[in-house]
Each structure stands twice: as C-alpha cells, then as structure tokens.
C-alpha cells in the first residue's frame, strides 16, 4: 500500500513538473511581448510615474504625515496594478484571440487554466518593475520613506493582481477585441474616479462613497494605504472585499475564456 502511494505521488510529481515548466516558459514569453510593445510600456510604466509627479506637485491632494506622496503612492501603485492587469493584459489577450494567436496556443499542451496562470505570473513580474520605478521616483524626488508591513503589501499586491488580471482576461475571453478595448478603458476611468487613490472617498457623496468601497479598486487602494502606514488599523474589510472579487472573477475568467 505504501509503495502504491509512493508510486502515485511520483507520477503526480512527474506530471506537475512539465506543467510548471510550460507555465514559466509561457510567462517569460508574455513578459517579453509586453516589454516589446511601446504602448504597453507607456500605460504600465510611464503613466503611473507621470501621475505621481503631477499630483504630488499640486496642493489639492491631502498629505499624510506632512507629505502628499504618502497618500498618493499607494493609490498610484493600485492604478499601476489595474493598468498592467486589466488594461494591458486584457486588451493584448483580446487581440491575440482576434488574430488567432490563442487558437494556435490551444493546440499546444498548455491548458486554458495554465495559460491564465502564466499571464498572471508575467503581470506579477511586471509589477516588480513598476514598484521599483514608482517607489524610486517617490524616494528620489519627494524623500518618501517606506513604512508599514512589507509582507502585507506583498499580499495585497498579489490579490490585486489576480483580481484585475482576471477582470481583463474575462473580458478578453468573452468579448470581441473592440469591446474589450472600450470596456477596459472605461472601467479604468471608473476605478480612477472611485478608487480613492487620488480623490479621497470622503470627498464623494455618501451613497457614492459607500458604493465605491465595494469595488475592487477602492479595496485595493485602501488595503495598500493601510499596509504602507505605521499607524493604520488592519484593513480587514478591504482585504475581504478584494479576496471575494479575486475568487469570483478568476472563476469567471477560467470558465468563460475561449481560444477563438
């Protein structure tokens, strides 16, 4: 019995190893494609830096501990996650399906869920670059000093990445490329306005503020704001909302994703 169990575990391990290699190879390919597209570099790397510099230079953003950058940086990182996952990944994948790239991938050993995981992994790597770039600008230009819990920040970033990547992939797998392009940009604008990263939710009418707190953008922003501060309470509600969104849209993305 023990020998049979050992043999079964060995077979499962042998199956898992090629799958992991396929996912990592596809993730590397996805990342290289992203970095080769000029419009992707603009949306995911340059725009967040411009937004940080622009709003940090104005006196319309509330300061935390005397500095506007302490309020802005978590929100800008949240926008970067949305831009990388929902806008960049969603639109790129939609056009891959439109041009038949996904159909060819469908003939490969990589499964549908494996492709989705590979795309999300590539976005996670891209976000490491985003954090280094945006954080570096905040340190060099505004004297920002890291605070809060790095592990909590990492958890929130991963949850946010899964959520917004799944939203982008759900649109890309179910809608036409043109509809995905319009929908991703419209949602991004909505999340900018109601995400609480640039305009605090307290400045909105009470019904809109209550509605915004149920959206993944505000949940991601509030969780990052708390995680990147030494004096904030644990963002339990924001994490709960973000987790529910992550699970729900990931299931939808996997079930509705089509190769062609």
Residue 11 is predicted with a pLDDT of 44
Which CA distances in Å does 242 have to 28, 187, 210, 220? Answer: 27, 16, 15, 7
Residue 190 is predicted with a pLDDT of 92
Mean pLDDT, contiguous 10-residue spans, the chain (260 residues): 43 61 84 78 86 82 70 91 90 86 75 82 88 92 89 94 92 88 92 87 88 94 92 90 94 81
Whole-angstrom distance, CA of residue 173 vs CA of residue 98: 10
Whole-angstrom distance, CA of residue 217 vs CA of residue 67: 23
**Bridge partners, residue 158, by sequence:** none
Residue 187 is predicted with a pLDDT of 93
Under 8 Å between Cβ of 112 and 254: yes
DSSP per-residue codes, 226-259: HHT-SSPPP-HHHHHHHHHHHHHHHHHHHHH---
Whole-angstrom distance, CA of residue 65 vs CA of residue 97: 47
Please state, as a whole number, how many other Cβ atoms lie within 10 Å of the Cβ of residue 23: 21
Under 8 Å between Cβ of 70 and 144: yes
**Bridge partners, residue 64, by sequence:** 67
DSSP per-residue codes, 81-116: HHIIIIIIIHHHHHHHHHTTHHHHHHTSS--HHHHH
Under 8 Å between Cβ of 198 and 192: yes
Q: Where are the domains of the chain?
A: 22-256
């Amino acid at each position: 019995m023990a020998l049979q169990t050992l043999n079964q575990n060995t077979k499962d391990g042998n199956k898992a190893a090629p799958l992991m290699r396929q996912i990592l190879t596809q993730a590397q390919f996805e990342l290289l494609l992203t970095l080769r597209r000029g419009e992707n570099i603009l949306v995911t790397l340059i725009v967040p830096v411009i937004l940080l510099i622009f709003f940090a230079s104005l006196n319309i953003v509330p300061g935390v501990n005397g500095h506007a950058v302490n309020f802005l940086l978590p929100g800008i990182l949240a926008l970067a996650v949305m831009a990388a996952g929902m806008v960049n990944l969603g639109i790129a994948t939609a056009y891959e399906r439109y041009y038949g790239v996904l159909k060819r991938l469908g003939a490969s050993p990589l499964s549908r869920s494996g492709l989705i995981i590979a795309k999300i992994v590539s976005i996670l790597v891209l976000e490491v670059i985003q954090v280094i770039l945006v954080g570096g600008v905040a340190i060099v230009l505004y004297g920002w000093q890291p605070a809060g819990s790095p592990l909590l920040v990492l958890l929130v970033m991963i949850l946010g990445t899964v959520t917004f990547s799944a939203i982008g992939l759900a649109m890309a797998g179910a809608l036409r490329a043109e509809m995905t392009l319009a929908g991703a940009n419209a949602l991004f604008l909505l999340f900018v306005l109601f995400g609480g990263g640039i305009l605090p939710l307290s400045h909105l009418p009470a019904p809109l503020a209550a509605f915004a707190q149920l959206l993944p953008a505000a949940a991601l922003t509030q969780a990052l704001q708390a995680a990147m501060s030494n004096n904030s309470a644990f963002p339990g509600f924001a994490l709960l909302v973000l987790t529910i969104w992550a699970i729900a849209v990931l299931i939808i993305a996997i079930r509705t994703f089509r190769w062609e």
